[in-house]
Every structure is written in C-alpha cells, then in structure tokens.
Amino acid sequence: MGILFILCTAEMQEVNAMSVCWTYNDFFARNLGIFSSEEQDKIRNSRMAIIGCGGIGGVIALVLARSGVEHFTLVERDRYEPSNMNRQIACFCDTIGRNKAECVRDEILRINPQAQVTVHARALTAEDIPNVAGMGDVILPVMDEWPLSLTCLEEVRKVKPAVMAYPVGALCRVSVFTAASPTVAECLVMPYGFGLEKLEDYTHRPDARRLLMYYETAGSWREDWFEEWTEGKKPHAQFAPIVWITSCLAAMEALKLVSGKWKPVVAPYYWSITPDSASVRKFGLGRKLAARLSRHEWLLKRLPSLSRNRTLVRWFTRLID
C-alpha cells in the first residue's frame, strides 16, 4: 500500500507540474470558433450553483467545466453506491462509498486545475433555501428529493434564473424558470400553494403517484415497475442516455444565460426529448387547472378511488400532456 501511494502521489505531482504549462486558452480554444472572446470570458467568470451532484448534477458540472466555467458551488450529502453505476458520471468502482460532490469536484479539477470549487458535503435544508440564490449566477436545483428541488426552484426563480432538469425513464424535460415564468407547481402539476411539508406528503402518496401515467407512456416505464414505484417499493427508473442528454441540455441553458449567445428556453416552454422525438413544447393550461384543483381537500379525499380508474387517469394524462 505504501509503495502504491508513493507511485500515485508521484504521478499526480507530475500531472500537476505539467498543467502549469497549459493555459486556459489551450484547453478551450475551440470554443472561440463559436463564442466571441467576450462571451467566453462571461462563461469563464460565471458562478454555477449545482444543488445535487448525482445523475443530473454530476454531468452538468463536468459539461460546464469542459465548456470553460471556472467557478462552482456543489451541494450533495450522498455517497456513491453500486446502483448509481448505470448513469452517474463520477461513479466508478473506486469511488463507491465517497461523497458525490467531492468526487465531482475532483473530476472538475482534473479537467481544469484552475477551477474554484466550493463543496458542501451535506443535505440542503428548507432553512437553506433563502440563501441559495446567493450561491451563483445560475442555480440548478437537481436533487433527488423532488419536493425540495421544486420548492427551491420556485423560491430561487424570483431573484435568479434557475434551470429545471429531470429525466423520467426515456423522457427528458428541461426548462429555465425566471420571475416572469408561471409557477413551478402550475407547470409541473403539483398542488398549487403547497409548502414543502405538504408537498412531501403528497408526492409520496400512492394515489398521487398513480396519476403520473405518463411515466409509463412517454417515459416507457414497464407497468409492473410503475405499480411498485407507486407503492414505494421501487426507485425511479433511469438510464444513462436520457440522464446525460437531460444534463447536457441543462448545461446548454446555463451557458445561454451567462453568455447571452442564444435565447434560453424559458417556462412555460421546455425541451422534451424521447428516444424518437425532440422538440420545444409548452406547459399548457390543463396543467395549471390540474395544479389548482389538486390542492382542494375534497379532491384529495377522493384521490384513492379516482386514481384506481385507469380510464380516468388516461384522460388526465391527455389533459396535462
């Protein structure tokens, strides 16, 4: 072990010594065939806050690092485990058991040793949300804890642009939320006006989960997996191609925001990608109506029986599509 450590340390010292000879322009010169020097400087000096460094956040961070971003704040409490191997970019056999944000930081620094990366190896809490907007110029709340991500997205968008990115099986959706956007709840069919605690309760209800039949249709989940997920017995079904496409689109939207090069896709508009389609679509009025109705107690009481009616759920799926 001692000899191996010495050899690895010597190798890293050699790489670090070599990196002194390389400049920022050496790494990112090809970007200048697309971006002007001024636009690339904006990218370089931008501050990206990535809240959640798993499947989505890890890829976003490394794509942005390879695009020339040099300032990152990463927030993640979880450590890699074997089930992450199928999609999480910094998960390897030798990183299982390590904190995800720390591993992503290490990969960023392997790309660009000049990058400045702040790591918070802990969970984001509800009390942290008012301070998230100060972490960066663009905020990317991509935590596994969906209610917390949505709550963070809704609060941050009022003062800073925030990028929503989520894959559902074979379906990818990405959008930028700003102060001018509709509410997150109205776009994503969550009960309008619910706070974090009520939203957590709602999203874990099997009857509320059964309404998400588009996980089966557009997302291509197997029916048996979907049924077990509604009961809390299975995790989200995800695989690398869609997760990485989602992440790359989110990184592109962040680069649009800081460089000014292209017009961002801002909610109510969003990217929609499946294995056989790609388009920019619009969150419709059906979603707003569903979000407004689903907050009412009389409907919540009837949800267990309503969600068992697959014909009715298919109609609801068409309404919000």
3-state secondary structure of 90: coil
Whether the predicted pLDDT of 84 surpasses 70: yes
Give tens-digit pLDDT for 144-187: 999 999 999 999 999 999 999 999 999 999 999 999 999 999 99
Return the amino acid letter for 8. C
Question: What is the structure's pLDDT at 17?
Answer: 47
Give a yes or no: residue 210 inside a domain.
no
Helix (H) or strand (E) holding 75: strand 71-75
Give the span between the Cα atoms of 223 and 213, in whole angstroms.
Answer: 9
Confidence band for 16, pLDDT divided at 50, 70 and 90: low
Which pTM does this prediction carry? 0.92
Write the DSSP assignment of 26-74 as a string of letters: HHHGGGGGTS-HHHHHHHHH-EEEEE--SHHHHHHHHHHHHHT--EEEE
Give a yes or no: residue 31 inside a domain.
no
Give a yes or no: residue 315 inside a domain.
no
Confidence band for 26, pLDDT divided at 50, 70 and 90: very high
How much is the average pLDDT of 4-16? Answer: 42
Give a yes or no: residue 64 inside a domain.
yes
Domain of 80: which CATH number? 3.40.50.720
Whether the predicted pLDDT of 199 surpasses 70: yes
Domain range enclosing 256: 37-191+236-286
The phi, psi pair for 275, rounded to 5°, reads: -60, -20
Give a yes or no: residue 301 inside a domain.
no
Give tens-digit pLDDT for 242-261: 999 999 999 999 999 999 99
Helix (H) or strand (E) holding 116: strand 116-120
Question: What is the structure's pLDDT at 318?
Answer: 86
Give a yes or no: residue 146 inside a domain.
yes
Q: Count the domains in the chain.
A: 1
Give a yes or no: residue 55 inside a domain.
yes
Whether the predicted pLDDT of 201 surpasses 70: yes
Give a yes or no: residue 280 inside a domain.
yes
Question: What is the structure's pLDDT at 5?
Answer: 31
Give tens-digit pLDDT for 269-313: 999 999 999 999 999 999 999 999 889 998 899 999 989 998 999
- Give residues with Cβ within 8 angstroms of 86, minimum separation 6: 238, 239, 240
Question: What is the structure's pLDDT at 6?
Answer: 34
